[in-house]
């Protein structure tokens, strides 16, 4: 980007007030614990939807339902949360983060409770799909930038710890959800989840504290000026395409395990190992991004994830091989969720104003990144199940190819031009 563009954006932002630097510790570690728990009981829960999907596909609970219906319901968990992100940002600005997140708990818990009583497919769409997705968005979006307000030098470590919460949550709920469905019922799996979510999220929200008074963020829905920048468009295209691979892997792996003859507990274990890989991998991605470069790490992991889809998942028909693939892939497939903050930090403004304006504009920039993944999170698993061939000897061959190609193509968004531009900005800082 030229200097003229940088100056233009700096002028639009206007004079920046002095702000106190992030404390890099102290109460910030309480915030880390709270955000870790929020990730555990939001994204950690919906990352186990593959267990529910395998249950739906193997039992005719709703006679009018097609496999694509269940894929859409799972897609709503992500896409509804993402599509409402700009509005949630504005709501948090007007009413406060705690009120917004508390409202999210109400929607999230109500969705699970309602899902435990549904008799018709459309009711499942509204409860487990829309209500749960909206609840996730209301809880998660207001807190996603809070870590960056409390940490500077330790920001990657803090964000990595928080990101690990979703992996550990997915690990726990993969086992418990499958066990409760098997020993009690699907309805009780929803109800027990609702009870646990109510308690844990309420405690976490009570501990959340922002530093908006010091930083004075405008908290706009998103800044449309960013769409005129090449580096922003490259990152958005990377996020858009890679999410097709991410959602396909996240939701298809448990049912793929079933399709090759593994038991339900084994399928749940595969999903759990995917989440364990996420819990281990996300902090390492954050640390590696600071050491080796954010663009290099994001690009390399995106490409490698596509390669192992072909090298391990495609020929993998043994339980041990699938566990290995889940661990490896789990550590890499969520690179978007870890890298987005690191990359977006440099999209807020030109290099002259990046440190201050980057932090001030973080929420609006995050909203733009959320919107970029609405369509893939909604329709990726729909496409994957449409590609599935239940009557063939290799039911998931085409979804496997689809996931691998998505990651390899997405790698092109993290190309040399983006690396040069963002790396030059890092050196300037």
Report, as an integer, the average pLDDT of 357-362: 48
Tokens of 189: 């799996």
Maximum mean pLDDT: which of 62-76, 189-203, 375-389 = 189-203
Q: Can you say whether the dihedral through the CA atoms of 134, 136, 142, 144 is positive or negative? A: negative
User: Is the predicted pLDDT of residue 379 greater than 80, yes or no?
Assistant: yes
Instruction: Identify the pLDDT of residue 111.
Output: 94
The model's confidence at residue 413, banded by pLDDT at 50, 70 and 90, is low
What is residue 192's predicted lDDT score, i.e. its pLDDT?
94
- Closest to 152 in 3D by CA, of 35, 54, 20: 20
Q: Between 132-140 and 97-115, two packed helices, what is the crossing angle to 10 degrees?
A: 160
pLDDT tens-digit readout, 59-104: 888 888 888 898 889 888 888 888 888 788 888 888 888 899 999 9
Instruction: Look at 8-17, 228-237, 343-352 and tell me which has the smallest mean pLDDT.
Output: 343-352
| Stretch among 4-8, 52-56, 296-300 having the lowest mean pLDDT | 4-8
Q: pLDDT-based confidence at 429, cuts 50/70/90?
A: very low
The residue that leads in pLDDT, 46 or 23, is 46
- Cβ count within 10 A of residue 332: 23
Mean pLDDT is lowest, of 174-183, 217-226, 312-321, for 217-226
> What is the pLDDT at residue 106?
95
Handedness of CA 21, 27, 31, 36 (dihedral sign): positive
Instruction: Give the mean model confidence (pLDDT) for residues 293-301.
Output: 74
Per-residue pLDDT, averaged over 245-265, amounts to 86
Give the DSSP per-residue string, 270-311: HHHHHHHHHHHHHHHHHHHHHHH-HHHHHHHHHHHHHHHIII
How far is Cα 317 from Cα 171, in angstroms, rounded to an integer? Answer: 22
On whether the CB atoms of residues 211 and 48 are closer than 8 A, the answer is no
Looking at residue 217, its pLDDT comes to: 52
Residues 424, 429: Cα–Cα separation, whole Å: 9
Determine the pLDDT at residue 169. Answer: 86
CA distance 317 to 239: 30
Q: Tell me the average pLDDT across 405-410.
A: 89
Angstrom distance (rounded) from CA 1 to CA 11: 16
Domains and CATH numbers, the chain: 23-214+221-428 (1.20.1250.20)
Say how far apart CA 110 and CA 106 lie, in whole Å.
6
What's the rounded mean pLDDT across residues 237-241?
A: 83
High-pLDDT (> 90) share of the chain, %: 18
Q: Tell me the average pLDDT across 401-405.
A: 92
Higher model confidence: residue 348 or residue 218? 218
> Where is pLDDT greater, at 336 or 16?
336
Contact partners, residue 272, CB within 8 Å, separation at least 6: 170, 171, 174, 175
pLDDT > 70: what percent of the chain?
A: 74
pLDDT band at 427 (very low <50, low <70, confident <90, very high): very low
Mean pLDDT to the nearest integer, 171-194:
89
**What is the reported pLDDT for 393?**
79
Q: Does 387 score more than 50 pLDDT? A: yes
The answer for residues whose C-beta is within 8 angstroms of residue 66's C-beta and 6 or more apart is none
Instruction: Give the per-residue pLDDT at 279.
Output: 79
Q: What is the pLDDT of residues 104-142, one digit of tens each?
A: 999 999 999 999 999 899 999 999 999 999 999 899 888
> Which pLDDT score is estimated for 189?
92
For residue 402, pLDDT over 60 is answered with: yes
Instruction: Give the up-direction half-sphere exposure of residue 96: CA atoms within 13 A in the CB hemisphere.
Output: 7
Q: What is the DSSP string of 17-73?
A: PP-PPP-SSTTHHHHHHHHHHHHHTTHHHHTTHHHHHHHHHHS-SSTT--HHHHHHH
pLDDT band, very low/low/confident/very high, at 301 (cuts 50, 70, 90): confident
- Tell me: pLDDT of 46 over 80: yes
Q: With bands split at pLDDT 50, 70 and 90, how would you rate the model's confidence at 414?
A: low
Give the Cα separation of 16 and 10 in Å (integer): 10
């Amino acid at each position: 980007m030229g200097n003229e563009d940088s100056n233009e954006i700096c002028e639009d932002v206007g004079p920046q007030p002095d702000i106190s630097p992030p404390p890099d510790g102290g109460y910030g570690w309480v915030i880390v614990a709270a955000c870790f728990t929020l990730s555990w009981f939001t994204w950690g829960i919906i990352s186990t939807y593959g267990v529910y999907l395998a249950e739906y596909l193997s039992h005719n609970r709703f006679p009018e339902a097609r496999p694509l219906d269940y894929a859409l319901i799972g897609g709503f968990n992500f896409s509804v949360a993402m599509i409402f992100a700009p509005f949630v940002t504005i709501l948090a600005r007007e009413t406060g983060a705690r009120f917004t997140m508390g409202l999210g708990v109400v929607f999230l818990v109500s969705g699970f409770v309602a899902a435990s009583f549904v008799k018709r497919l459309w009711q499942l769409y509204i409860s487990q799909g829309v209500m749960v997705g909206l609840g996730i968005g209301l809880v998660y979006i207001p807190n996603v930038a809070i870590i960056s307000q409390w940490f500077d030098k330790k920001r990657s470590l803090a964000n990595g710890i928080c990101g690990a919460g979703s992996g550990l949550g997915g690990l726990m709920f993969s086992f418990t959800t499958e066990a409760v469905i098997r020993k009690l019922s699907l309805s009780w799996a929803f109800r027990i989840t609702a009870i646990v979510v109510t308690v844990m999220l309420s405690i976490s929200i009570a501990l959340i504290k922002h530093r908006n008074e010091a930083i004075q963020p405008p908290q706009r829905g998103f800044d449309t000026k960013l769409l005129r920048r090449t580096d922003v468009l490259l990152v958005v295209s990377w996020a858009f395409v890679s999410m097709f691979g991410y959602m396909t892997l996240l939701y298809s792996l448990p049912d793929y395990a079933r399709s090759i003859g593994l038991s339900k507990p084994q399928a749940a274990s595969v999903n759990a190992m995917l989440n364990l890989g996420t819990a281990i991998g996300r902090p390492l991605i954050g640390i590696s991004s600071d050491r080796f470069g954010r663009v290099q790490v994001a690009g390399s992991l995106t490409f490698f994830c596509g390669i192992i889809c072909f090298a391990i998942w495609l020929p993998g028909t043994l339980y041990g091989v699938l566990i290995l693939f889940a661990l490896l892939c789990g550590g890499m497939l969520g690179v978007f969720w870890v890298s987005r903050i690191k990359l977006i930090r440099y999209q807020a403004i030109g290099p002259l104003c990046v440190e201050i304006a980057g932090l001030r504009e973080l929420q609006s920039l995050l909203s733009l990144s959320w919107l970029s993944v609405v369509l893939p999170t909604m329709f990726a698993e729909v496409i994957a199940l449409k590609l599935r061939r239940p009557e063939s000897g290799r039911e998931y061959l085409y979804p496997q190819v689809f996931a691998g190609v998505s990651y390899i193509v997405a790698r092109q968004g993290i190309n040399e031009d983006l690396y040069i531009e963002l790396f030059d900005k890092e050196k300037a800082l």
